[in-house]
Amino acid sequence: MTRAALLPTPVPAAGAPAPTPAGTSGTGTHLALADSLLALLRTTTTEQRPDEQLEALTLAVAADLPVLLWGEPGIGKTAALTQLAASLDLPLTTVIASVHEPSDFSGLPIVGDDPAVRGVPMAPPQWAVELVAAGRGLLFLDELSTATPAVQAALLRVVLERRVGALQLPPGVRIVAAANPRASAADGWELSPPLANRFVHLHWVHDREVVVRGLGGVWPRAELPRLAPERLPEAVAFARRAVCGFLEARPTLIHRLPSTETRRGGAWPSPRSWEAALTLLAFGTAASVSREVLALLVRGAVGDGPGLELLAHLDRMDLPNPESLLADPASAELPVRGDLRQAALEAVVAAVGARPERERWEAGWAVLVRALETGPPDLLVAPATALAALRRDDWEVPEAVERLAGVVGLARRADRSVARAAAAEAGRAAEACR
């Protein structure tokens, strides 16, 4: 007789539930309830709302360019890719690069019957076979910055040529990768320059409103950009004119390998990345994306410095022709943005100075009057002063100058007042230090 048999059998108290018979434990019921609760927590909806980084990601995916999301751990990179794949109705294939060997991407050699004649084919991994069978999908290469240099080298063909072993990935497969900065990655490596130069780099940061609404069950919806069919030829022509014109003026930026290892692992200019920038510029123009989204994409392709220079070049391309403004000042359409408006007026003055004639000088004043009628007057001080300096002795002062005199004089007095106040403040500060 066992010790358990000698113990008294417990009697349930009045009103207490009867003990569960052996083999009918309530654990399964409790787990089912737990699964139901988890299902409710994971049930979310989406809404259409502005999200610049998500819009930049979807446009790069539409342009069939490999994208690399940089962000701290837990920032939501994987969740964003999962939601993107669901929104685009693409099967998601996740490959953790850091836990694979180079042969998982370049293929394993399989010796056949007659290798001297047929060669030795490279067998692809299962995930690649499934992608080819599906014909479409989103390949997500996660933890890229923790992959060894050998694995990064094997990924070169996957990212650029879309080949895995002997398999060619179909055109319907898009590639997105994610990485943590080396400082926050587990045993992180800097990205090799050849691999880094194949990606459009987007820095993924959290938005407070997006996180709060998402935890409340509503996330932003990822949608492919809506391309205007009638704008496609114009978009391609504009992108080619912009990039080629910029590189003609700045040929040293065609290829510039950064000097530091860290910067080589990011976006930097090369013929390959300029081609990506041109593609993104064409897609952004055809989709009429905002300047902020276009800036994220261009800087992500060629780097911050060259990208900002290209954006400034685009602004100059949008400026009206000063000769057209001088030809018809009454109907001149000037840029709304302050810096572009100032540049357009300065271009008008420069055009008059290049060919100083009385009629052109008077037309320049008429353009300034038009600017006074359609925008803030403070931008007129510098161009009006420069235009007045171009006057010849035998040129009469036009009536337009009288309309501008009060505005220019008031602005100058305001500038002098600010200067006097600043000088007085500096004097008081100097006196206090004595």
pLDDT in tens, 341-358: 888 899 899 999 999 999
> Are residues 261 and 387 part of one domain?
no
Residue 8 lies in a domain: no
- Number of domains comprising the chain: 3
What is the per-residue pLDDT across 246-260, written as a single tens digit (0 to 9) for each?
999 899 999 999 988
Indicate the residue among 318, 342, 368 that finishes a domain.
318
Which pLDDT does position 44 carry in this prediction? 84
What is the per-residue pLDDT across 379-397, written as a single tens digit (0 to 9) for each?
888 888 888 889 888 888 8
Return all residues near 332 (Cβ < 8 A) that are at least 6 apart: 320, 324, 325, 367, 370, 371
Which pLDDT does position 418 carry in this prediction? 38
Q: Is residue 200 very low, low, confident or very high in pLDDT (cuts 50, 70, 90)?
A: very high
Which pLDDT does position 319 carry in this prediction? 86
Residue 7 lies in a domain: no
Is the pLDDT reported for residue 431 higher than 70?
no
> Are residues 93 and 200 part of one domain?
yes
- Token look-up 């990205």 returns 191
Is the pLDDT reported for residue 294 higher than 50?
yes
Which pLDDT does position 205 carry in this prediction? 87
DSSP 201: E
Indicate the residue among 181, 199, 220 that finishes a domain.
220
> Are residues 193 and 91 part of one domain?
yes
User: Which range of residues forms the domain containing residue 192?
Assistant: 48-108+121-207+215-220
Which pLDDT does position 9 carry in this prediction? 47
Residues forming a β-bridge with 175:
139
Which pLDDT does position 414 carry in this prediction? 38
Which pLDDT does position 411 carry in this prediction? 42
Q: Is 138 exposed, middle or buried (0-12, 13-18, 19+ CB in 10 A)?
A: buried
Which pLDDT does position 284 carry in this prediction? 95
What is the per-residue pLDDT across 23-75, written as a single tens digit (0 to 9) for each?
445 677 888 999 999 999 988 888 888 889 999 999 999 999 999 999 888 88
Burial 145-171 (b: 16+ CB within 10 A, else e): bbbeeebbbbbbebbeebbbbebebee
CB of 350 closer than 8 Å to CB of 387: no
Q: List strand residue ranges (DSSP E) for 267-419, in order.
A: none
What is the per-residue pLDDT across 295-342, written as a single tens digit (0 to 9) for each?
999 999 999 999 999 999 998 887 888 899 999 988 888 988 888 888
> Are residues 279 and 162 part of one domain?
no
